[in-house]
Structure 1
């Protein structure tokens, strides 16, 4: 098998990179070319010479694609070159031997043709531009100054690169799934902390009955507003990560389908945009991240000890006190709050003393929405 493979390499045309097609012509430098390939090279080097039925029939010059030796043709053109019957016989023997020793190959899909040279198959890969192309594009087309490589070697390299990219995407998807789980847990913690803090607020306000009922409603609304704001933000992040994960899964499926593509040229045509998508989808820099403790609602903790003490100090105004005592009581009340107010029944209250101190603002990071805390 190694001998046959080495022999096959010697029978490859340097232009079309396929086995020589009869008739095979031998150049003065002893290198061989398919007659069609030699004619194409000759026409590319002498574009202004007259042709007949697509073949050059007058003398001219071109360089051997293997050694760059200058080949001078007579008036018969390429048809004046001597045929290499020995190589043609070896090709016939090689094909007979290959057909008898190798199993019949499975029928493959038709090889895609070059867009510029419609009669040429895409059989080489342009390393400079990263696209598969045909041998004629390399000889005198858009890729004549480019570096090229056999399509089979690039196929294996790109297939390995795509496989590594898929593995990386699978790992990234697992990490994103973990982040989504953490975000969902943070959402539940925010909801639980919000319910607990509202319960504490309600319990404190219930002790003050109808006098603090309005304040209880306002503070509950503040807790609810921040809870909903944070939950909506976390859910929005969850949707973003979910959308990113869904897109990544689609790219993985596309990659798996591409990996199953048996035709190398089609595979290489689809690999470049797919690898670009994998690189873009692998980055999560555009996705916000939640700082630790963002779900905390502890800044809404309330303590009504001072207010309860002020309410327990409310008493009736003594009728036997003179005006001086009343003035002293008024000054003492002003020191405790903003001043005592006389109510029906002779009792005095200090409404300013029952206002809870404003809680500190919640911590925020990155692009999180602003909090509504006071």
Structure 2
């Protein structure tokens, strides 16, 4: 492994910092460059030389990026440099060694170990072998060619993944709305608690505490409900993302029988539904139904409580998502 890593370091182009791409040219100083990188350095050093098709057509000079040795080229430009076939062959061998070919093996039947799985039992929705159909557990079942079922279910999986991605986007939007509702509820109580009663503050202080408690209780009730609902949507979204990831990985499975054994389409269909999750009614987060009625007489002040509706002397707490303001 260390030898392969050291070899890979020797095959890195000093210009693009990637493994040399063919053709590889060798400079007079014995250093190597990708031909494209050599041409880029050449053009940068000779900006006024004529070009044709993006390549220089006459002689010029540039310095080797590794040792700064001056390289003088003839009228063919970088195309006059000799190709380093040895380095190109080493790169080919390195890539073959570092990326071994994948061995694709057809699954064998569990019952008839020498038989390959080559048909699909429609009755039991499982891939099986011909012997199971003729003599085994699936002899009375309806079967179908593996290829047709593979194509059908792969198409269904692709459609299911697309639907799940769309559902996940919609759930993320719902979660964002729920979070906005939480923020709207959270700002309502501080606004109510900052009511200024001016010279009547002493009389109103006791009533203010009682009224604030009512708002706090409702706030906690709504927050607990929405936070719980947010967690449910979040858990459903997380599970859906995992299923999407599994589906994408399954899409890359080239073996038909292995693909059909995963049976991820059912999970996609089940996870696509969010009908079992509650939905918050429009305006549920509003807390602006609390208002107070001030009377000039002290006796009336001691009986202040929250009321519904408008009045000539009403202090309204108007709370919206953005912005939230205290209206007098």
Q: TM-score, normalised by structure 1?
A: 0.52
Is contact 1:189-1:295 (8 Å) kept?
Answer: yes
**Is the alpha carbon distance of 1:140 and 1:229 closer, same or farther for their aligned partners in structure 2, counting shifts above 3 Å?**
same
**Is the alpha carbon distance of 1:220 and 1:231 closer, same or farther for their aligned partners in structure 2, counting shifts above 3 Å?**
same
Alpha-carbon shift at residue 208 of structure 1 (Å):
2.4
Is contact 2:122-2:143 (8 Å) kept?
Answer: yes
Alpha-carbon shift at residue 359 of structure 1 (Å):
4.4
Give runs of aligned pairs for residues 313-332 of structure 1, distance below 5 A.
none
Alpha-carbon shift at residue 128 of structure 1 (Å):
1.7
- Specify which of 166, 169, 180 is matched with residue 171 of structure 1: 166
**Is the alpha carbon distance of 1:176 and 1:107 closer, same or farther for their aligned partners in structure 2, counting shifts above 3 Å?**
closer
- Specify which of 256, 279, 302 is matched with residue 269 of structure 2: 279
Is contact 1:180-1:241 (8 Å) kept?
Answer: yes
Is 2:291 the partner of 1:301?
A: yes
**Partner residue, 1:159:** 154
Is contact 2:207-2:304 (8 Å) kept?
Answer: no
Alpha-carbon shift at residue 213 of structure 1 (Å):
2.1
Q: TM-score, normalised by structure 2?
A: 0.59
- Specify which of 106, 111, 118 is matched with residue 111 of structure 1: 106
**Partner residue, 1:363:** none
**Equivalent-residue separation in structure 2 for 1:241 and 1:186 (angstroms):** 15
Alpha-carbon shift at residue 358 of structure 1 (Å):
4.7
Moved over 3 A (4+): 357-360
Matched residue SS, 1:191: helix
**Equivalent-residue separation in structure 2 for 1:107 and 1:184 (angstroms):** 47
Matched residue SS, 2:289: helix
Alpha-carbon shift at residue 226 of structure 1 (Å):
1.6
Give runs of aligned pairs for residues 11-50 of structure 1, distance below 5 A.
none
- Specify which of 250, 257, 260 is matched with residue 258 of structure 1: 250
**Equivalent-residue separation in structure 2 for 1:167 and 1:275 (angstroms):** 12
- Specify which of 224, 227, 231 is matched with residue 223 of structure 2: 231
Is the helix fraction higher in 1 or 2? Answer: 1
Long gaps (5+) in structure 2: 1-100, 309-328
1:303-343, Cα deviation, whole Å (9 max, x unpaired) = 21x2xx222xxxxxxxxxxxxxxxxxxxxxxxxxxxxxxxx
**Partner residue, 1:203:** 196
Is contact 2:293-2:306 (8 Å) kept?
Answer: no
**Equivalent-residue separation in structure 1 for 2:199 and 2:129 (angstroms):** 87
**Partner residue, 2:236:** 244
**Partner residue, 1:310:** 297
Is contact 1:248-1:281 (8 Å) kept?
Answer: yes
1:132-177, Cα deviation, whole Å (9 max, x unpaired) = 0000110011111112111112111111010000000001011111
Is 2:206 the partner of 1:214?
A: yes
Give runs of aligned pairs for residues 185-196 of structure 1, distance below 5 A.
185-196=180-191
